[in-house]
Amino acid sequence: MTEAKTTEFERAVDDALGRALRAPKIPHDFSTRLGAALSRAGETDLAELRARFDKERREQIQTLKADYIRVRRSTLGTLLGIAFAAGAAAVIAMPWLRAHLGAYTPMAIAWGGAALGLGVAFFEPLRRTLRRWSDAL
């Protein structure tokens, strides 16, 4: 019993609408022409959609490439700036470190660089973890 039985009221409404609203006369080849128009419209719409999506994809790829080049340039500039700053700091700090550390100066510089690198690498994850812990409290 998947189909619901129509009630007498629904039949009466359908009959009244049928008497009040006359169906328009349509040409005998209406369904054929409608099917052909729908298929043409579908093909045109699909072709237009495909062209538009291809154009959007090309624009997105160009944007991504431009952003990638910008990031590479800024990274290179940052690395060069850090390298020059580290060199200048080493030249300035080397006499002071030699006077205070003596033969251990190269080892102290290596350990200091390693500590700085680890600090830079783990700063953001550590900050996020600490924030999560403080929010949980």
* Residue 110 vs residues 68, 114, 115: alpha-carbon distances, Å: 32, 6, 9
Cβ neighbours, 10 Å, residue 16? 10
Banded model confidence at residue 62, pLDDT cuts 50, 70, 90: very high
d(CA 26, CA 34): 11
Instruction: Please compute the mean of the pLDDT values over residues 114-127 and round it to a whole number.
Output: 83
Q: How many domains is the chain built from?
A: 1
The structure's pTM equals 0.42
In a domain, 127, yes or no: yes
Residue 112 · residue 120 · CB < 8 Å: no
Domain membership of residue 4 (yes or no) is no
**Strand extents, DSSP E, 56-101:** none
Q: What is the DSSP letter of 131?
A: H
Q: What is the DSSP letter of 27?
A: -
Can you point out the beta strands (E) in 24-116?
none
Residue 15 lies in a domain: no
Instruction: Report pLDDT digits (tens) over 66-110.
Output: 999 999 998 899 889 988 998 888 888 888 888 988 888 888 888
Q: Kindly state whether residue 78 falls inside one of the protein's structural domains.
A: yes
Percent of the residues in the chain that have a pLDDT greater than 70, as a whole number: 92
pLDDT of 46 > 80? The answer is: no
Residue 40 pLDDT > 50:
yes
Phi-psi region of 102 (alpha: psi -120 to 50; beta: other; left: phi over 0): left
> What DSSP state is assigned to residue 21?
S
pLDDT, tens only, 8-29: 888 888 888 888 887 778 888 8
Q: 53 lies in which domain range?
A: 26-136
